[in-house]
Amino acid sequence: MELKTSADTSERTTTLNSPPTHVAIIMDGNGRWAASHGKSRSEGHRAGTENLRRIIEAFIRHGVKCLTLYAFSTENWDRPPDEVNTLLEIVNEVIRSEVQVLHREDIRLRHIGRIDRLSPQLRRSICESIELTKHNSRMTLCVAFDYGGRAEIIDAVRSMITDGVQPEDVSEDMLRRYMYTNGMPDPDLIIRTSGEQRLSNFLIWQAAYAEYYTTPVYWPDFDETEVEKALEAYASRKRRFGKVL
């Protein structure tokens, strides 16, 4: 994986007034993409994975500092075992083949979600990748794997109780610090591919004021032009945060 540096690609950068700091993507439609090409669902997931490089590169080029990718939800465990195994295999392979490249490209990796249901070997490689890249600063790439917004809130409440937090000390700022996303800004833009119009348990706390963008394009077909369309739609939104502006 070779990500282009900002110097090689500056002439292709569109000047958006203020790009979103944090973009989060619900990468949906791998199965329907596969069906429409007469392929298996596993092939759809592989095609979706191959799409990651160009998309990361495109968001870096547009100045996005944090990209969160929804790769596997807490509900996705209920899919057929073969499909779940393929998804676990893919994440293993991606870590093995891409982490050094991401590190060279100054990208910091993060994981949000539970790790206790993953194999010890996968858990170890996730932790090692996070450790290796923790001082990188060009972009934070956050992978939501075994992630569920409801599980995240439950885990936060449990940790607060364990820490003996008193009811009067509970505040939005405190809850934020107990979330998996501690230290990350809230998403400014949430993109969902494949035309669905729901969050499917993704960043339900953090998305309170995110702008939402959906496109009928299936994830494996979501390319640089689609990235530009999403960012242009975002640039045209007027964010009011409840105020009169």
Catalytic residues: 28, 76
Residue 46 in tokens? 């592989």
Considering only CA atoms, which of 133, 152, 132 is closest in space to residue 141? Answer: 133
Please choose which of ligand IPE, Mg ion, none residue 70 contacts, taking the beta carbon within 5 to 8 angstroms, the exact cut-off set by kind: ligand IPE
Contact assessment for residue 139 and residue 169, using Cβ atoms and an 8 Å cutoff: no
Nearer to ligand IPE, 28 or 152 (CB): 28
* Residues 81-110, mask of contacts with ligand IPE (x by CB under 6 A): ------x-----------------------
Residue 27 lies near ligand IPE (rule: CB under 6 A): yes
Please choose which of Mg ion, ligand IPE, none residue 73 contacts, taking the beta carbon within 5 to 8 angstroms, the exact cut-off set by kind: ligand IPE
Q: Number of residues interacting with ligand IPE: please give it, by CB under 6 A.
A: 17
The interaxial angle of helices 41-50 and 81-104, nearest 10 deg, is 10
The one-letter code for the residue type at 133 is T
Residue 70 lies near ligand IPE (rule: CB under 6 A): yes
Stretch that binds ligand IPE, among 21-29, 58-66, 167-175, 178-186 (CB under 6 A): 21-29
Could you tell me whether strands 66-73 and 107-112 are parallel, antiparallel, or unpaired per DSSP bridges? unpaired
Nearer to ligand IPE, 70 or 178 (CB): 70
**Beta-carbon count within 10 A of 47 CB:** 18
Give the C-alpha distances (Å, rounded to integers) separating 16 from 19, 201, 234. 6, 30, 10
Beta bridge partners of 140: 66, 108
**Cα 37 to Cα 34: distance, rounded to the nearest angstrom:** 5
Element (H, E) at 26: strand 22-26
Residue 203 lies near ligand IPE (rule: CB under 6 A): no
Nearest residue to the partner Mg ion, using Cβ: 28
Residue 28 lies near Mg ion (rule: CB under 5 A): yes
Q: Which residues bind Mg ion (CB under 5 A)?
A: 28
Q: Which residues bind ligand IPE (CB under 6 A)?
A: 26-32, 70-73, 76, 87, 194, 196, 198, 200
